[in-house]
Structure 1
Amino acid sequence: METARPTHPLSPAEAWRFTADHAAEAAFFFDFDGVLSPVTDDPDASQPTPSALGVLEELAGVVAKVAIVSARPVSFLRTRFAALSHVDLYGLYGLEVWHEGEVITEPAALPWVPTMADLAQRARTELPAGTLVEYKRLSVALHYRTAPQLGDVVDRWANDQAERVGLRVQGGRMVAELKPPVDQDKGMVITEGIRNAGCAWYFGDDMSDLKAFDALRARAAVDPAFFGMCVAVANPETGAEVSTAADLTLESPDAVAAFLAEGLRGFRPAR
């Protein structure tokens, strides 16, 4: 008997029950920093929580799709998730994709590589000490987590450079990121990723994840058979706004892994 699509608000148990009944057409998407890994002062030090890898692999064995959608480059994500054989990696908000052993880069972003290299060098020279410059080939992230008093200076510099060169600025948790003027964001990744899904979950913690939430809601609005679940992970910086937009809030990356492990108990054995 077909399970009726649940309506919001609903309990986690109801959401898991519907998902388990529709596992063959279910998709799960996760941000990395703040969702699968605690946020760290040094971005290069971030690692998935110890229980995340196993639970993601188990999840990938019972649903149609599991993917990580991050501002990190695919090269970084591969070093953290190399052990996972059935998880897709979307890097730089979807400008890069790792799928079935191949990296696919958005062609429109490639001409901006020299610009980003120049901007990274400018940032290291012109921004005050305490700013951490993360060069990602197709974008540059300017972190001020260890010096929050620099936030206004960093944001102003990023916006000035974006206007000068013709880039876009993505704000986040103690970071301003300069991106190519290419139409690609997490919402677009999710819109495409759920095209053939009947059920989808997205786990996020930052402002860029709101577009992913919107993508799930937009699909549900036009497809009565589709069910989407937006999950926020709490944080002291952008948590209130993200939680307000979500159906459910979890307290930490460890809680995400535990929540997935609990939900997986209701699934049939792996196909």
Structure 2
Amino acid sequence: MAETPRPTHPLSVAEAWSVTADRAADTTFFFDFDGVLSPVTDDPEASQPVAAVPGVLEQLAASVRRVAIVSARPVSFLRSRFASLERVDLYGLYGLEVWHEGEVVTEPAALPWIPAMADLTERARAELPDAVLVEFKRLSVALHWRTAPQLAPVVERWGHEQAERLGLKIQGGRMVVELKPPVDQDKGMVITEGVRDAGCAWYFGDDMSDIKAFDALRAREAVDPAFFGVAVAVANPETGADVSNAADLTLESPDAVTAFLTDGLRRIQAQ
């Protein structure tokens, strides 16, 4: 059977799945966690994947070349939610940590920053209002104001002051500011490396940091006409239209992602 020609963007769902089914053995799927595989919650520790997600990802991983989760969460958190998955790679902290074939690999340049992040966590808890949730991630500190949106200017100002004081990177997100070591690593870099040998790749994201991953798919297509990338946004009221405008397709919720993948699996397995 002749391979389905690569469609141009914008594309339809049918076109995207048709090309993917033809290239399943050479296709990689990447997923953000919060807002994509799990609803966003007031308490980050309470987040759980949609019930059907682990099973769908395991089936998908058996049907394509590779499946990976690329998240701002630490690998330890992702492992606690996906311990049953044997074929899915985990990228934590924007790629500073990687779980692959039963081993966690940490970016060496980030390790010296662990004490500074612990100190920053204590400073944040002492100086910021109690309504701000301070999340220590070992290699980064996230400051959440989801339960007190009026505090956004206070948290953002404090975060930028600390980033300048310590020479840290700052990452904005959905009602959160995250302070990270000054190490060149983001989701776009993870995807750039991850698609180097792939013929087709999908990325599902919901936040501003995911646009870099979408851009990585576009960049690969620009230099390799045979490569096919699909950027999927998951809608939410906090990032508005920015993420959707950067994507090929938009889904309404993590539950819709699960249904979409279940349908896609049927198409792949029927090929």
Amino acid in the other structure paired with 1:38: P
Which residue does the alignment assign to 1:94?
95
Q: SS of 2:63's equivalent?
A: coil
Q: How many residues align?
A: 270
Counterpart CA distance in 1 for 2:184 and 2:85 is 29
Code of the residue aligned with 2:50 in structure 1: it is T
Letter in 1 for 2:172: G
Runs of 4+ in 1 over 4 A off after TM superposition: none
Aligned to 1:158: 159
> How far is 1:268 from its partner?
3.0
1 CA distance for matches of 2:130 and 2:122? 14
How far apart, CA to CA, are the structure 2 residues paired with 1:27 and 1:104? 20
Aligned residue in 2 for 1:48: 49
Q: Corresponding residue for 1:119?
A: 120
Q: Give per-residue Cα distances to partners, 1:43-63, cap 9 Å, x unaligned.
A: 000000011111111100010
Q: What TM-score comes out, normalization by structure 1 length?
A: 0.98
- Residues 18-65 of structure 1, C-alpha deviations (whole Å, 9 max, x = no match): 001000100000000000000000000000001111111110001001
C-alpha separation in 2, matches of 1:143 and 1:255: 26
SS at match of 1:265: helix
The 8 Å contact of residues 40 and 46 in structure 1, kept in 2 or not, is answered as yes
Q: Deviations over 1:105-161 (max 9, x none)?
A: 000000000000000000000001210000000000000000000000000000000
- The yes-or-no answer on 1:237 pairing with 2:238 is yes
**Could you tell me whether the CA contact under 8 Å between 1:233 and 1:239 is conserved in 2?**
no
User: Does residue 196 of structure 1 match 2:197?
Assistant: yes
Amino acid at match of 1:204: G
Aligned to 2:266: 265
Letter matched to residue 78 of structure 1: R
The CA distance in 1 between the partners of 2:270 and 2:115, in whole Å, is 49
TM-score, normalised to structure 2's length? 0.98
SS of 1:137's equivalent in the other structure is coil
The AA in structure 2 aligned to 1:231 is V
Contact 2:4/2:18 (CA < 8 Å) preserved in 1? no
Root mean square deviation of aligned Cα: 1.0
Give the % identical residues.
Answer: 77
CA contact (8 A) 1:141 1:175 kept: yes
CA distance in structure 1 between the aligned counterparts of 2:91 and 2:119, rounded to whole angstroms: 25
Shift of 1:269: 7.0
* SS of residue paired to 1:261: helix
Unaligned runs of 5+ in 2: none
Match of 1:215 in 2: 216
Cα distance in 1 between the residues matched to 2:28 and 2:63: 10
